[in-house]
Amino acid sequence: MNKIRLDFAAASRFVDAKRVKQLYEKLPGLKLEPELLRQVVQPDERTYLQIMASAQAIQQESEALLVLGVGGSQGGAKAFIEALNPKAMPVYFAGHSFSGHYLKALLEKLEHKDVSVIVISKSGNTAETLLSFGVVRSWMQDKYDVEAPRRIYAVTGKKNNGGALGNIAAGEKYNRFYIPEGVGGRYSLFTAVGLLPMAAAGINIDEILAGAQEGLKEYGITISEESPVTSYALWRTALYHAGYANELWVTYEPCLNGFGNWWRQLYVESESKEGHGIYPVVAEYTNDLHFLGQYMREGPRNIFESILWLEEAPTRLPTHPDTATMIGWGDVSNMAAVIKKVMEQTASAHNEAGVPQLKLFLPKLSAFYLAKLAVYFATACLISSGLQGIDPLNQPGVEEYKQQVRQILK
C-alpha cells in the first residue's frame, strides 16, 4: 500500500473504548487551525523561484553549506537531509548552542572549503544563533573579504524588520528570505527555513511540496474515525488520560532519528502547557534496546511506544559465508527480513509486559513521503492539542527562556 497507515490494536486493551469514543465526539466542537498548514505548504511563486536560484548559486560556488539556527529553525531541514542523504554538498549545523568548542572544531573542518552560510531566526534576536553568527560572520569576512556578504543568506520574520539579524542583513545586503507571520519555527519546515537548506543540499523540493500538499489534501483537519491522523491524535490522548504520560517514538532506521527530534519539538512546544503534555522520547532500535529493553520490560508502566516502521527496505546485502554460522542464525543476507522479525518479536514482548503501542507504517523513504509524514504529524498535533484545550501555536515557556538568556547576557 502507498498510504501512511496506523495500527492501534496493541493499544486497545489498555484503554477503555468508550473513552476514545468520547474524545471523538468532542472533535466537531474544537477550534482547529487548518489554515496554518495550508499557508506553509504553498509558498508563493516569487519565494519559490528565489529559493531555487539561491540553491543553485550555493551549489555552484561552494563545497559545503553551514546552517545556523536553533530548534525549529534547523530541525526540519536537518531531519530531511539526514534521512535522504542528498549528494549535492555536505551540510553542517551550528547556532544551536553556546559551545565554543563545537563551533571552533566545525570551522577548522571547513577552513579549506568554499562555504556558504544560511542563518535563520524569525525574531532575529535568538541568542545562540546570533552569537554563533557573530563568530561565523567574522570568519567569513577573513576568508572572503568583500565577497563574504553574497555567500550569506538570512531567513527572518518581517516583524520589527527581523530584529538584529534583519538589520545586519539589510545593512550588508545579504540575500534575504521571510518567514510568514503566525508560523512558529516548528511549523516552518515548508517555508524557506526548511526548503532553502534542503534545496541547496540537493533534495528535490518539488517532491517535498507535492508530498506536503497531498498530505494536506488527504488529511487536512479531517474529523473521521477512519482517518489515521485522527486516530493517532485520539489514541495518544486516550493513553495519556489513562496514565501513560510518556511517549517513546521508535524508529528502526538510524537515518530517521532526526525526524524523531523534529517530531519531539513539534509536540512539546505545541502541547506542553498549563500542566498538560505527554513527555516525548526518541529511540533508535535496536541500538537503544541494549538499555531501554530493561526499562520497557520491567520499568514503570507509564509509557507507550509509537513505532514508525519503514515498509520499503533493502532486502539483500552481501555477507561473508560464515556469518550465519557465526551468530547461529539462518539466512542473514536478507536484512529486511531480519529487522522485521526483530521488530515484531520486540513489539510483542513489550506489549505483553504492559506497554501499549501505536504502529505507524511509512511506505517509502523519499522526499514525497517524508513531507507527507510531516503533515501527518503536524495535523495530528493540532487535533490532539485541541482535545486538551491547548493553543498549539504559542510557546510561552520558550519565550520566557529566551528572555532570561537575554537578561543573563546583558
Q: Which of 113, 276, 340, 402 is catalytic?
A: 402
Position 398 scores a pLDDT of 57
Q: What is the pLDDT of residue 227?
A: 82
Region of residue 402 (phi > 0: left; psi between -120 and 50: alpha; otherwise: beta): alpha
Q: Which of 165, 162, 105, 97 is nearest to 132 (CA)?
A: 97
Considering the domain architecture, whether residues 328 and 240 belong to the same structural domain is answered as: yes
User: Is 101 part of the annotated catalytic residue set?
Assistant: no
pLDDT band at 40 (very low <50, low <70, confident <90, very high): low
Residue 241 falls in the annotated catalytic set: no
What angle in degrees, to the nearest 10, is found between the helix axes of 257-271 and 367-387?
Answer: 20
**What local confidence, expressed as pLDDT, does residue 152 receive?**
98
The answer to whether residues 27 and 43 belong to one domain is: no
- Check if 290 is active-site: yes
Question: Which position has the higher pLDDT, 44 or 37?
Answer: 44
Q: At what angle do helices 257-271 and 72-84 cross, to 10 degrees?
A: 150
Shared-domain flag, residues 292 and 391: yes
Residues in the chain, overall count: 410
- Is residue 387 over pLDDT 90? no
Confidence tier at 382 by pLDDT (50, 70, 90): confident
pLDDT reading at 129 higher than 70: yes
Task: Give the DSSP letter of residue 409.
Answer: H
pLDDT band at residue 70, thresholds of 50, 70 and 90? very high
Active-site pick, 18, 87, 290, 410:
290
Write the pLDDT tens digit of every residue in 148-162: 999 999 999 888 888
Active-site residue (options: 269, 271, 350, 372): 269
Domain match, 79 and 185 both = yes
Q: How much is the pLDDT for 353? A: 97
Q: Is the pLDDT of residue 386 over 70?
A: yes
Residues 13 and 48 in one domain: no
Q: For the stretch 237-272, what's the b/e string if a residue is b when 16 or more beta carbons lie within 10 angstroms of its beta carbon?
A: bbbbbbebbebbbbbbbebbbbbbbbbbbbbbbbbb
State how many domains the chain has.
Answer: 2
Report the C-alpha gap between 313 and 256 in whole angstroms. 13
User: Is position 42 within any domain?
Assistant: yes
Are 246 and 388 members of one domain?
yes
- 70: domain CATH number is 3.40.50.10490
> Minimal CA–CA distance to 252: which of 313, 168, 320, 188?
313
Does residue 223 surpass a pLDDT of 80?
A: no
- 100-115: per-residue pLDDT in tens? 999 999 999 999 999 9
Which H or E run includes 214?
A: helix 205-218
Q: pLDDT of 229-242, one tens digit each?
A: 889 999 999 999 99
- What pLDDT is stored for residue 181 in this prediction? 78
Do both 198 and 65 map to the same domain? yes
Indicate if 288 and 320 belong to the same structural domain. yes
CA 20 to chain CA centroid, Å, is 27
Of 396, 393, 395, the residue nearest 182 (C-alpha):
393
Is residue 343 packed enough to be buried (19+ CB in 10 Å), middle (13-18) or exposed (0-12)?
middle
**Which residue do the cell numbers 477550534 mark?**
31
User: Which whole number is the average pLDDT over 137-150?
Assistant: 97
pLDDT at 82 > cutoff 80: yes
Model pLDDT, residue 391: 74
Tell me the average pLDDT of the chain: 89
For residue 125, the SS3 value is: coil
pTM, 2 dp: 0.92
**Residue 34: band (very low, low, confident or very high) from pLDDT cuts 50, 70, 90:** low
> Among residues 351, 256, 259, 261, which one has the least CA distance to residue 312?
256
236 & 360 share domain: yes
